[in-house]
């Protein structure tokens, strides 16, 4: 459980760092004030716009006060002629597709992180359940009775444990009798105790 919590904490930290990086990268070009096209043309005609950068229908402008703004330009054939008449420097660059990708990734990343954590927990839980349920599927080595002369009568001093294991042996010998009463095959037996208390003898007696 501690290793699971530690792994989850590491993935959460990685996810938070990635979200911060995506936000920083996405906000690098988002510092411009968005204005209407009418306001943009008013600034151009008053001579307060020094330079514009056209990216498709999006225009980023720089005023004489070194302020940046952006606007969406409609289909306006006389725009560049108007800019030249007002001595505005014009630069053209391709649309930044990376910003769209970052915006999509940034919006979907929290959900993907939650789904990843949920899958991680489900796999951990299923892994533990599979280990527990696979006990009955373990390939066992059959030992002939004549090769193992040890019986429960050879085990002394731990009568309670011996009686409980005797019930398991009876169940394995005749499982139908116990199934009729609602019994189920045991998934395993954990023998605990100090050295020399008879754990090995009990295991051999089974």
Question: Is the per-residue pLDDT at 153 higher than 80?
Answer: no
Residues 130 and 155 in one domain: no
Alpha carbon distance 188, 45 (integer Å): 87
Query: Are residues 158 and 57 both part of a single domain?
Result: no
- Count of CB atoms situated within 10 Å of the CB of 18: 14
Q: What is the mean pLDDT of residues 4-24?
A: 70
The per-residue pLDDT of the chain, averaged, comes to 74
pLDDT tens digit sequence for 155-172: 777 777 777 777 777 777
Q: How confident is the model at residue 146 (pLDDT cuts 50, 70, 90)?
A: low
Largest Cα separation within the chain, whole Å, is 111
Backbone angles phi, psi at 154, to 5 degrees: -80, -10
* Mean pLDDT confidence for 63-78: 84
Least confident of 5-9, 14-18, 70-74, 127-131: 127-131
User: Residues 166-188: what's their mean pLDDT?
Assistant: 75
Q: How large is the C-alpha radius of gyration of the chain? A: 38
Say yes or no: 198 and 105 in one domain. Answer: no
Tokens encoding 172: 């394995």
82 and 42 in a single domain? The answer is yes
With b for 16 or more beta-carbon neighbours within 10 A and e for fewer, the 110-123 pattern comes to: eeebeeeeeeeeee
Could you tell me if residue 185 is inside a domain?
Answer: yes
Which backbone phi and psi does 131 adopt, to 5 degrees?
A: -65, -35
45 half-sphere exposure, CB direction, 13 A CA radius = 7
Between strands 89-92 and 49-55, the pairing is parallel
What CATH number corresponds to the domain at position 45?
Answer: 3.30.720.210
| Full DSSP string of 15-30 | HHHHHHHHHHHHTTT-
Q: What is the mean pLDDT of residues 181-198?
A: 74
Where in the sequence is the domain holding 60, given as residue range(s)?
33-95
Last residue of a domain, one of 117, 135, 153: 135
Instruction: Identify the band that residue 173 occupies on the pLDDT scale cut at 50, 70 and 90.
Output: confident
Same domain, 17 and 116: yes
Question: Is residue 166 included in any domain, yes or no?
Answer: yes
Task: Looking at the structure, tell me whether residues 111 and 66 fall in a common domain.
Answer: no
User: Is residue 197 assigned to a domain?
Assistant: yes
140 within domain boundaries: no
pLDDT value at 132 more than 50: no
CA distance 203 to 193: 13
Joined tokens for residue 63: 């005023």
**Number of domains composing the chain:** 3
Q: What is the pLDDT of residue 92?
A: 84
């Amino acid at each position: 459980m501690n290793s699971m919590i530690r792994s989850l904490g590491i993935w959460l930290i990685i996810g938070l760092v990635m979200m911060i990086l995506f936000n920083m990268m996405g906000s690098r070009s988002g510092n411009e004030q968005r204005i209407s096209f009418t306001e943009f043309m008013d600034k151009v005609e008053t001579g307060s716009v020094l330079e514009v950068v056209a990216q498709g229908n999006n225009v980023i402008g720089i005023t004489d006060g070194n302020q940046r703004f952006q606007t969406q330009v409609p289909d306006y054939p006389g725009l560049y002629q108007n800019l030249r008449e007002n001595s505005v420097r014009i630069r053209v660059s391709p649309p930044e597709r990376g910003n769209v990708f970052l915006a999509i990734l940034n919006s979907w990343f929290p959900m993907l992180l939650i789904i990843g954590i949920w899958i991680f927990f489900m796999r951990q839980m299923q892994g533990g359940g599979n280990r527990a349920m696979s006990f009955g599927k373990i390939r066992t080595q059959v030992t002939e009775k004549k090769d193992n002369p040890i019986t429960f009568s050879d085990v002394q001093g731990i009568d309670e444990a011996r009686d409980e294991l005797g019930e398991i042996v009876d169940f394995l010998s005749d499982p139908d009798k116990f199934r009729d009463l609602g019994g189920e095959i045991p998934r395993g037996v954990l023998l605990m105790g100090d050295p020399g208390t008879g754990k090995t003898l009990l295991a051999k007696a089974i």
